[in-house]
Amino acid sequence: MTAVLTGVTAAAVREALGGVVDPELDEPVTDLGFVRSVTVRGADVEVHLRLPTSFCAPNFAWLMVSDARDAVRAVPGVGRVVGERDDHPDSDLINRGLAADADYRGTFGHEAEESLDELRATFHRKAHTAAMERALTSWVRADPTRTEDDVAAVRLGDLPAGRQTDSLLSRRAALGLPTDPSSPVLLGPDGTPPAPEHVALTFRKARSVRVSVDGNAHFCRGLLTTRYPGSETDQVFRPSIDSTLPLEVLR
């Protein structure tokens, strides 16, 4: 067989990496500034990721680096993929494991008791809860006559078209939750609408999840720029529910 002209570009690789999400912050690694470099040599691709501290948990690091490898492998024409995480106590271990195509437990041996599926599922649920709260808080704020107690009646079809609603729908789909317009927006942790007396509490609880996810994202973004001066130019503005004022107002 003759050699195939691949035409793999760094831009195509970066675009693929845009689908890799930090599970905890629910944001693409490209927007967070975590992609340090992308090098393409023919069909071979080398990707380096950098994270905010050396104390970022290795389980999350593993998820991101292995997802990045899988995403880049799916780009048409890509041959060998090297995905590396830089400057972490376990960089060598993670990088060796990935190079050998080992799974997580194969890499960390006795220190890993379970797979990471459950961890990933927990953060998928949190991402959905935060998206649900953003959609509902925006809905309440849009009309001064609406109150917290009204949110139980809101259906997906009542939400305005746009980024927030799209974000909610995609997280619903990822979890296998209903996406039809007649489906209630407010769901409890078990995926069903809460009883009337639990509506306000469920909404409030969702708010604490959103505050936490957004707050962590801002702190991690800040720490990355402290650790890697200049990395802020790679970061994409994270929209806030308080759109008039970002969470971070000082440098």
Partner 1 sequence: MYSKDGNDYFVVDAHIALWDARPENQLNIHGKQFIDCFYDYHRNLSPESEVWDYEQYLYQGGEKLMADVFADGIVDHAIFQPARLGEFYANGFGQTEEASALAQAHPDKLTYNHYWDPRDGENGLDKLRENAERFQLKGVKLYTADWHGDSRGWKLNDPMAYRYFEVCRELGIRNIHIHKGPTIRPLDRDAFDVADVDHVATDFTDLNFVVEHVGLPRLEDFCWIATQEPNVYGGLAVAIPFIHTRPRYFAQIMGELLYWIGEDRILFSSDYALWTPKWLVERFVDFQIPEDMTEYAPITTDQKRKVLGLNAAKLYDIPVPADLQVAEADATATGPRDPDAADKNLAMA
Q: Which positions from 150 through 179 interact with partner 1, judged by CB under 8 A? A: none
Cβ proximity to partner 1, 30 vs 137, nearer residue: 137
List all residues 6 or more positions away from 83 whose beta carbon is below 8 Å from its beta carbon: 46, 47, 49, 65, 66, 68, 69, 72, 95, 98
What mask of x and - would describe binding to partner 1 in positions 127 to 146, judged by CB under 8 A?
----------x--xx--xxx
Binding-site member from 9, 53, 170, 179 for partner 1 (CB under 8 A): 53
Alpha-carbon distance of 142 to 172, in angstroms, equals 23
Least distance CB 119 / partner 1 (angstroms):
6
What mask of x and - would describe binding to partner 1 in positions 182 to 221, judged by CB under 8 A?
------------------xx--xx-xxx-xx-xxx-xx--
242 binding partner 1? (CB under 8 A): yes
Alpha-carbon distance of 129 to 123, in angstroms, equals 10
Alpha-carbon distance of 78 to 94, in angstroms, equals 22
Give the interface size with partner 1 as a residue count (CB under 8 A). Answer: 61
3-state DSSP assignment of residue 5: coil
Alpha-carbon distance of 54 to 24, in angstroms, equals 16
Q: Which positions from 10 through 29 interact with partner 1, judged by CB under 8 A? A: 24
Least distance CB 213 / partner 1 (angstroms):
8
User: Distance from CA of residue 59 to its chain's centroid?
Assistant: 14
Residue 15 DSSP one-character state: H
Binding-site member from 100, 149, 175, 191 for partner 1 (CB under 8 A): 149
Alpha-carbon distance of 246 to 250, in angstroms, equals 10
Per the listing, tokens 């939400």 go with 159
Helix or strand holding residue 47 (H, E): strand 44-49
Least distance CB 144 / partner 1 (angstroms):
5
CB 139 within 8 A of CB 150: no
Task: Name the segment binding partner 1 (CB under 8 A); options: 39-47, 179-187, 222-230, 231-239.
Answer: 222-230
124 binding partner 1? (CB under 8 A): no
244 binding partner 1? (CB under 8 A): yes
Token pair in block for residue 101: 């195509």
Cβ proximity to partner 1, 42 vs 246, nearer residue: 246
CB 49 within 8 A of CB 72: no
Binding-site member from 43, 82, 102, 116 for partner 1 (CB under 8 A): 116
User: Could you list the residues that contact partner 1 (CB under 8 A)?
Assistant: 24, 52-59, 88-90, 104, 108, 110-116, 119, 122, 126, 137, 140-141, 144-149, 200-201, 204-205, 207-209, 211-212, 214-216, 218-219, 222-223, 225-227, 242, 244-251
